[in-house]
Amino acid sequence: MTPGELVRRAGIDRGEAETLLGHVLKVDRAWLFAHADEWVCEAAALKFQHLVEARRKGEPLAYLLRYRDFWTLRLSVNQHVMIPRRETEHLVEWAIECIDAGATRILDLGTGSGAIALACKAERPATEVWGIDSSKDALACAEANGRSLGLDVRWVVSNWFGALPTAEWDLLISNPPYIAANDVHLTQGDLRAEPSSALVGGATGLEAIERITEEAPPFLTMGGWLLFEHGYDQSLTVQAALRARGFANIATRSDWSGLARLTGGQWWN
Ligand SMILES: C[S@@+](CC[C@H](N)C(=O)[O-])C[C@H]1O[C@@H](n2cnc3c(N)ncnc32)[C@H](O)[C@@H]1O
């Protein structure tokens, strides 16, 4: 079959089919258009059809391609890590503001593929960046990403602050699991294939955020920031938790669609 026929007959989103075929043939979209009527060898056609079948069954595109672009980086991903999302780039933007205002030691809690930690390090190489995760497999992915991108981040397997040395950070940043265990979204789209330990924040969805907020202060310098990504309907609860723990300058920011998705506060006590 030709590239044109393969894409037409795939029965999945056309753009995704083109991406998968380009991946198999190691060519870009422009090449597929220019060579739409040429013959694709049987081995490549078969490989493409296997990928299409997996996609049809709900395997996320990023897991099939084995990468996802985040910020300026191409990150390897696998089934042990949550696929980095565009919204999380807002958290990186906020982190960079904090770095430019003086933060030099940064800790990414629940680093997954290493997305936030690596983006901060890539953008501001003079900072000291740590990334922790309770999943050894996730951390192996983050570590491999750091190595292949040549970014020097310190990786630690840790249950939140549990395995961290007594030290102080100027910026704690986290996109923790924040979906409630019974949330219907967990049965939809890519969420079905991603590790539930990366998604589910207990019965209310807020357990990880509450725990990090409670335990964070001894790990922060005076004036240090704690920044979270959270669900679209959680900003008021996260603000209240930060206020109750003694954080000041509490602020919430919205994502590109105008949803309140990031909340942070500063430690002055
Ligand atoms: C929502 S994912 C975020 C991954 C990555 N930071 C990102 O933005 O793409 C949450 C991450 O928190 C990690 N995690 C869950 N519970 C944890 C815990 N108790 N201690 C440390 N990390 C935890 C998960 O393994 C997962 O990698």
For 130-172, what is each residue's pLDDT tens digit?
Answer: 999 999 999 999 999 999 999 999 999 999 999 998 778 999 9
Reported as a single tens digit per residue, the pLDDT across 246-268 is: 999 999 999 989 999 999 999 99
Contacts of 222 (CB under 8 A, 6+ apart): 267, 268
- Report the pLDDT value the prediction gives residue 36, as an integer from 0 to 100: 87
**In percent, how much of the chain has pLDDT > 70?**
100
The sign of the dihedral angle between the CA atoms of 70, 263, 80, 205 is negative
pLDDT band at 129 (very low <50, low <70, confident <90, very high): very high
Reported as a single tens digit per residue, the pLDDT across 62-73 is: 999 999 999 999
Q: How far is the CA of 199 from the centre of ligand 1 (A)?
A: 8
Collapsing DSSP to helix, strand or coil, 194 comes out as coil
**Residues flanking ligand 1, CB < 6 Å:** 81-82, 84, 88, 110-113, 115-116, 132-135, 138, 159-160, 175-177, 197-198, 208
pLDDT band at 226 (very low <50, low <70, confident <90, very high): very high
CA dist., res. 63 & res. 137, Å (int): 15
Residue whose CA is at the smallest distance from ligand 1 atom 9: 84
